[in-house]
């Protein structure tokens, strides 16, 4: 009986080992070689639009910005500071209704101009980028697709990044012509105030591991 029990225990161990081996082989190879780290956007991050009109300049700030930034491996921010292209993907989304120009009338006209009802979000997806190591951090150009007012265009946005207390501080600006997206700039006061076609999108983002 003792020998029979020992045989059964050895058989059970072999079965368990086989099950573990099969489970391990079932996991895609990439899972063993690629570990993704997600960088989270901090509440202090800002994105806004500056422009001019026939009367005065204006600024519209996005009160809500969503960003998904994924990197390969670990310690992505520290690696970026050495010039290593550790970031794999970047997606930034701003709800159109969250663009606030500080004036109710201007908000209504701007949201209508960017076709908020038909295109409720403004989205930028990075498809490629270059990176250069500099004395105080890194600089580069982000190439990707910008979707605005129902139209999508490929653009290249210059940006700079520095490391602050372990976080990645990214800043940049991009000049945009509303007509490139088939948008008509807002017009107020029966046409006496007209927003000029070109605006500048600025961002000041803080990302942490």
Q: What is the pLDDT of residues 25-39, one digit of tens each?
A: 344 433 333 558 899
Is the pTM here over 0.75, yes or no? yes
pLDDT for position 55: 87
pLDDT for position 188: 74
pLDDT for position 197: 96
3-state secondary structure of 183: coil
Please say if the pLDDT value at position 8 is more than 70: no
For residue 49, give the nearest of 63, 40, 61 by alpha carbon: 61
Please say if the pLDDT value at position 69 is more than 70: yes
Average predicted confidence (pLDDT) for the chain: 86
The values of phi and psi at residue 27, to 5°, are -75, 130
């Amino acid at each position: 009986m003792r020998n029979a029990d020992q045989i059964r225990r050895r058989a059970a161990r072999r079965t368990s080992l086989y099950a573990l081996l099969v489970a391990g082989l079932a996991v895609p190879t990439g899972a063993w070689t690629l570990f993704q780290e997600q960088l989270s956007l901090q509440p202090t991050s800002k994105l806004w639009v500056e422009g001019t009109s026939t009367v005065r300049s204006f600024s519209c700030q996005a009160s809500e910005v969503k960003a998904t930034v994924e990197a390969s491996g670990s310690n992505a921010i520290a690696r970026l500071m050495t010039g290593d292209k550790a970031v794999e993907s970047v997606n930034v989304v701003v709800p159109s209704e969250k663009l606030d120009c500080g004036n109710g009338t201007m908000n209504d006209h701007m949201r209508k101009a960017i076709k908020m009802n038909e295109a409720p979000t403004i989205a930028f997806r990075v498809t490629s980028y270059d990176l250069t190591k500099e004395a105080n951090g890194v600089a580069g150009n982000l190439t990707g697709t910008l979707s605005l007012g129902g139209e999508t265009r490929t653009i290249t946005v210059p940006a700079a990044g520095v490391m602050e207390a372990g976080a990645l501080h990214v800043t940049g600006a991009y000049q945009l012509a509303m007509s490139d997206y088939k948008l008509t700039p807002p017009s107020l006061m029966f046409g006496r105030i007209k927003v000029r076609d070109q605006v500048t999108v600025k961002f000041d983002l803080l990302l942490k591991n």
